[in-house]
């Protein structure tokens, strides 16, 4: 990861499935030149989200405000940053459950998505710009999954899951920035199974998103899935989704 950070030099990095206690995550990331905000999971070795930034945030909020059910799940952290023009950016790192159809794991996934439906409009009212990033573990459309026909009854492409994203990008009013920039094409995928030849054949899933409020989405100029050149060179089953926005710098 340090090599990728040195080459990409992003202003912000959001991480999901960190799987480390806060003190360990901070220690590992201490020499990157970024301020690290980490929200670990109560269950050791599970979940975990983080935000890395060039400066300290004005505020940090952990969890989805759901009376504690997800507060220690390590799946949602909000950070507020003041931009150079005085506007407020709320940046979220989110990790939605992978789920498993017809099991309690899927019930938790729907409960989390229900809270997102409630929280996203609230954030849009309290900040000038909102950007929700992360591994959301749902392919919204057939364009987002190479083998969609074979996965219609599997978690990640269930009609009930996809309906949440219809709301995110419909009545709630957020923009799927990656899709807007990429156009109506297959993919670009961001996750590939470690099994078989999925990576080499680009048999992937687009489950990593940047969901932005409209004014922020309008400033997006370029999207890149920074996929490794070969299976042997990858360091995760995901590839970083990098999007450039034409915004004032963050205030130091």
Q: What share of residues in the chain are helix, strand, coil (percent, to 5)?
A: 25, 25, 45
Residue with tokens 């590839």: 239
Q: How far apart are CA 182 and CA 79, in angstroms?
A: 27
Q: How far apart are CA 174 and CA 209, in angstroms?
A: 11
- Of the CA atoms within 13 Å of residue 12, those in its CB half-sphere come to 27
Is 71 known to be catalytic? Answer: no
Backbone angles phi, psi at 78, to 5 degrees: -110, 135
Q: From the candidates 135, 144, 176, 208, give the one annotated as an active-site residue.
A: 135
Q: Which residues, including other chains, have CB under 8 Å from residue 170's CB and lie 6 or more apart?
A: none
Q: How far apart are CA 135 and CA 191, in angstroms?
A: 9
Q: Which residues, including other chains, have CB under 8 Å from residue 159's CB and lie 6 or more apart?
A: none
Omega within 30 of 0 (cis) for the link into 188? yes
Hey, how many other C-beta atoms are within 10 angstroms of the C-beta on 202?
Answer: 14
Residue with tokens 């890149």: 224
Tokens of 5: 């950070």
Q: What are the catalytic residues? A: 135
């Amino acid at each position: 990861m340090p090599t990728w950070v040195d080459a990409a030099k992003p202003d912000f990095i959001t991480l999901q499935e960190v799987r480390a206690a806060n003190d360990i995550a901070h220690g590992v990331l201490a020499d990157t030149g970024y301020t690290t905000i980490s929200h670990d999971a109560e269950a050791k070795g599970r979940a975990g989200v983080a935000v890395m930034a060039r400066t300290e945030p004005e505020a940090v909020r952990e969890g989805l405000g759901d009376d504690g059910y997800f507060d220690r799940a390590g799946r949602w952290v909000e950070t507020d940053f003041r931009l150079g023009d005085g506007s407020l950016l709320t940046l979220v790192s989110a990790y939605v459950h992978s789920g498993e159809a017809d099991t309690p794991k899927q019930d938790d996934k729907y409960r989390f998505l229900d809270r997102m439906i409630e929280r996203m409009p609230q954030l849009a009212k309290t900040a000038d710009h909102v950007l929700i990033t992360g591994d959301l573990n749902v392919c919204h459309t057939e364009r987002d999954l190479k083998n969609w026909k074979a996965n219609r009854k599997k978690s990640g492409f269930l009609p009930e899951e996809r309906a949440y994203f219809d709301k995110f990008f419909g009545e709630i009013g957020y923009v799927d920035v990656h899709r807007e920039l990429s156009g109506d094409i297959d993919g670009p995928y961001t996750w590939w199974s470690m099994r078989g030849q999925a990576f080499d054949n680009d048999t992937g899933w687009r489950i990593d998103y940047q969901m932005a409020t409209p004014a922020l989405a309008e400033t997006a100029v370029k999207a890149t899935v920074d996929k490794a050149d070969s299976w042997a060179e990858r360091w995760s089953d995901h590839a970083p989704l990098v999007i450039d926005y034409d915004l004032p710098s963050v205030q130091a």
